[in-house]
Each structure stands twice: as C-alpha cells, then as structure tokens.
Amino acid sequence: MIGPVVQLVSIVKRFESAVAVDRVSVDIQPGEFFSLLGPSGCGKTTTLRLIAGFEVADAGDILISGDRVNDRRPYERGVGMVFQSYALFPHLSVARNVAFGLEQRKVPKADIPGRVNRALELVRLDPATYGSRMPAQLSGGQRQRVALARALVLEPRILLLDEPLGALDLKLRKEMQLELKALNRSLGITFIYVTHDQEEALTMSDRIAVMDNGRIAQLGTPADVYENPRTAFVASFIGGSNFLSGIAESLGDRRWRLVGRHGTFVVRAEPGVMVEAGREVRIAIRPEWMDLFPPDRIPPGENAVPGTVQEVIYLGETIHVLVALDPGEVVTVALRNEGQLIKPVPWTRGSRVAVAWLPEDCQVLEPDA
C-alpha cells in the first residue's frame, strides 16, 4: 500500500513570541488536490513554506515520501512552487523563464527546449506564439500560466501553490480553477494549494484543511467541512450560517429537544457528536436549508421560529431574505430564484413569517478552540 506523499508531524513554527503554526499534523496522499484554507494570519502560507523549505520548523517533522526533510534545502525536496506574485524575471522571455530552473539544475542543453515546449503546451500556451514574448507583453492569466509551466517543467512530485489566482479577474479565476484541477488529475502530481477563498477551495479540492490561529480547525472533503462544520468558526468561514442555541433534553436515537430563547426545536446529532442533557447546545443552519412559510402553515415535523421580514435582497441565482426573529436576532434565508419577473417571492418587508428547517439540517457545534 502506498503511503502519504507528505506528512506533517506536530509541526511548530514561531516568529519571536507569536506561534504561526501550532502542532499541525496531517497526511497528504499521492495525487491529491489538498487545500489549506483560512483567513489572513491563520498559518496556511507558513505551513506551505515549511513544506517547501523556505522556513525551518521549530519542532516536529516534515516527511516527503517517507523521508525526513527538515534539514534539506528547497531544491532537494522534489517540490515545485507557484507564488502569488508569479515572480517572473522581467528581463527574460517566456521560454527563458520556464527554462531557468532546468539551467540551474544543469540539465543538458539539448534537452531543455523540448521540456520547455512540453511545459508550455501543458498550460495551453503555444511555444511558437508565446516563447519569445516578455512578461510585460502578457496578460495576468498568461503570466500565471508561465509561472505554472516554470514549476511543472521540473517534473516535481509535489506542486505547492500560494494563492496563485488572487490577482486574476473573477471569470478567468473560475476558468483557471477548473484547469488546475484538470492538470492535477492528468499529471497525477500532488497539489497543495493555499487560499483564503472558500469557494475556490470547495471547487478544486479533494480535501480541505481549514486553519485558524495556527491550527487545523477541521479536515475533510468539501462536503464534510461545508455540510458538517464542527465549530462556529468553520460554519461561518465556509459559507454563511445562522446560529441558535438551547438547553438539551434527550428524545432518544440521537434526537434532542433544545429549549431556548427562540422557543423549542428538535435537532438530530451526527454519530459521534457529543450532546449532554441539561447543557447548552449551539447549532448552525445553512441559509439554503431554511425556508419561509406563513406562520399558520408550518409543515409537520419541521422546526420553526416566528419573525418579521426585514429585507429582501436580489442576488441573481438566489434571493436572500433577512428575517428579524421575535427574540431579536436576524437570520438569513436563501431562496432559489424561480424568476422574479414571472414568479416573485411572496415576502416583502414587514411580512410576518415562520422560518422553518428540518431537524437533520441542524449542525451541532463543538466549542471553538
């Protein structure tokens, strides 16, 4: 059985008194598209730089293909790196930029042109058209492709990408997300990708490590971290969530009644999620898992909290309805847009409504670390 291609074992990195990476452990599998996701300052880029060898860990071990590499230089680790700024040499042509790493590694000169051409073709840049151009003559998307080709030409086992799409416009960014995922699949190279954009991570990743304060707050597939967030931080950082709480009363079969200031409602805890009778439980409900009904027409078996529509926001694919609950908090309900000009939502500012959702759509949260 093939083992992990990258292993981080209780990695710690400090900058003076600040702990940037705090006992991070994770195994990354061969060919995986693995994302480090989190806000600025959470430790994701430092973790990537530790794997690359640009930073030295204060404690713990970094293993690549089973070998401890803590003391190896970046070029000895078999990894490629694509930076956020692209870091192209402005005085070198596209072909020379891509060839630079090969020249530094003393690859025979006769082999370099063919490898450069293949790398450019991989990222959909015609060598005959773009090879002689200078970086200043390229668009942002083309420069990004050159930076990617420069990393791929070295045939790395692992490709590290530090927010490489951040400078691109939205349309091109979405196109490049799909292209990067396709490259990952076709080449079989392990991609380790740093981003603060949760939609980007959900689109491309096989697994996501959500980081907060130097630690991994949750690790799992995109569906895991979105549909079963473990903490309020994860629930609020990845997508939007509404939060409610109450004191738990057991109903059996992992079902609990919560009694709180919003009334009484039922939740169903996932296997392994700890809920104790008599203790406060906090839950998250995704806006798209909620619905609106007239107060006297709540479907049987659904939870419901009364409130008043505060605002209706048109977002194209969805309509967000902000509802002020009677106890005072405001929740967001995301409704599918079925055509506002043909079939507009029936709710307007001031409408009395019931916000309703199914017990199984409640995500029971652990305390944030």
DSSP secondary structure string, 16-64? TTEEEEEEEEEEE-TT-EEEEE--TTSSHHHHHHHHHTSS--SEEEEEE
Q: Dihedral angle at the C-alpha atoms of 236, 242, 247, 252, nearest 10 degrees?
A: -90
Rounded CA-CA distance 53/70 in Å is 8
Rounded CA-CA distance 216/236 in Å is 15
* Burial bucket for residue 31 (CB in 10 Å: 0-12, 13-18, 19+): middle
Q: How far is CA 59 from the centre of its chain?
A: 26
pLDDT band at 368 (very low <50, low <70, confident <90, very high): low
Rounded CA-CA distance 54/162 in Å is 13
Rounded CA-CA distance 257/311 in Å is 30
Helix (H, G, I), strand (E, B) or coil at 138: coil
Within the chain, what is the greatest distance between any pair of CA atoms? 79
Share of the chain above pLDDT 70, in %: 99
Instruction: Convert the pLDDT of each residue in 332-355 to its tens digit.
Output: 999 988 877 777 888 899 999 999
In this structure, which long-range contacts are made by residues 58-62, counting pairs with CB atoms below 8 Å and at least 24 apart in sequence? 58/12, 58/13, 58/14, 59/10, 59/11, 59/12, 60/8, 60/9, 60/10, 60/11, 60/12, 60/23, 60/24, 60/25, 61/7, 61/8, 61/9, 61/10, 61/11, 62/6, 62/7, 62/8, 62/9, 62/11
Q: Identify the residue whose tokens are 């009334």.
A: 263
Residues belonging to the chain:
369
pLDDT band at 369 (very low <50, low <70, confident <90, very high): low
pLDDT band at 264 (very low <50, low <70, confident <90, very high): confident
Q: What is the pTM of this model?
A: 0.88
Instruction: Convert the pLDDT of each residue in 19-38 to its tens digit.
Output: 999 999 999 999 999 999 99
Domains of the chain: 6-228 (3.40.50.300), 240-290+303-364 (2.40.50.100)
pLDDT for 12:
96
Q: Identify the residue whose tokens are 């809920």.
A: 275
Stronger pLDDT, 184 or 269, i.e. the higher one: 184
* In the predicted structure, residue 93 carries a pLDDT above the cut 90: yes
Q: In the predicted model, what is the mean pLDDT of residues 136-156? A: 88
pLDDT band at 286 (very low <50, low <70, confident <90, very high): very high
pLDDT for 137:
93
* Burial bucket for residue 359 (CB in 10 Å: 0-12, 13-18, 19+): middle
Rounded CA-CA distance 346/330 in Å is 19
Q: Identify the residue whose tokens are 């000895």.
A: 76
Q: Which two tokens stand for residue 340?
A: 């506002």
Q: Dihedral angle at the C-alpha atoms of 36, 169, 98, 135, nearest 10 degrees?
A: -140
Instruction: Convert the pLDDT of each residue in 233-245 to its tens digit.
Output: 999 999 889 999 9
List CB contacts of 100: < 8 A, sequence separation 6 or more.
Answer: 89, 92, 150
Q: How far is CA 89 from the centre of its chain?
A: 30
pLDDT band at 326 (very low <50, low <70, confident <90, very high): confident
Report, in angstroms and rounded to the nearest whole number, the Rg of the chain calculated over CA atoms: 25
pLDDT for 101:
87
